[in-house]
Amino acid sequence: MNPERWTHLCVDMQRMFAEDTPWQVTWMPKVFDQVVEIATRFPERTIFTRFVPPSAPEELPGTWRAYYEKWPMMTTTQLDPVLVDLVPDLKRLVPPARIFDKRTYSPWTNGRLHSALLHQDIGTLVVTGGETDICVLAATLGAIDLGYKVILLKDAVCSATDQTHDASLELLSKRFSVQVKVMNTEEWLSSF
């Protein structure tokens, strides 16, 4: 891994989190401009993850089954399939930007993302998206475990809950300070 080679990892900026669903992240619009700015400037370096629900709870094992039994309206048999897609301003960037689908919070569990990044000799991930305290946290912790340097843009990540968003940023900036740098988008962009 080359720490000088980086990719923008944009986590789950999907319509089902942006629009009126039970999983809507109401303050996604607050970070939207920053995320679009980065992805538009660097579409060839952007990877979007999408959280893809199963068609029925029985498709997934263990507690994931119970999770979707709680949220049956978010399975793809009940949810309008277009809501699984990226928000339109980001979808238009694919290609050259790429999409990696996932069934869990972490984008690392199936190995495809890590393999693609290793093939490109990527050593640093610039992380944006949502939610800070769920999928962004899982993506960041998995990246740390795999040896990536992470730049987390604190004004380009969002959550539905301020308290756990703030706690996640504090945890990542203080406890993982060797592996994670938390900074503002403008500060990061000024390095180019």
11-29 pLDDT, tens per residue?
999 999 999 999 999 989 9
141-175 pLDDT, tens per residue?
999 999 999 999 999 999 999 999 999 999 999 99
Q: Is pLDDT of 2 > 80?
A: no
| 8 vs 25: CA distance, rounded Å | 21
Domains defined for the chain, CATH in brackets: 2-189 (3.40.50.850)
Contact at 8 Å (CB) between 157 and 35? no
Contact at 8 Å (CB) between 96 and 47? no
109-139 pLDDT, tens per residue?
999 999 999 999 999 999 999 999 999 999 9
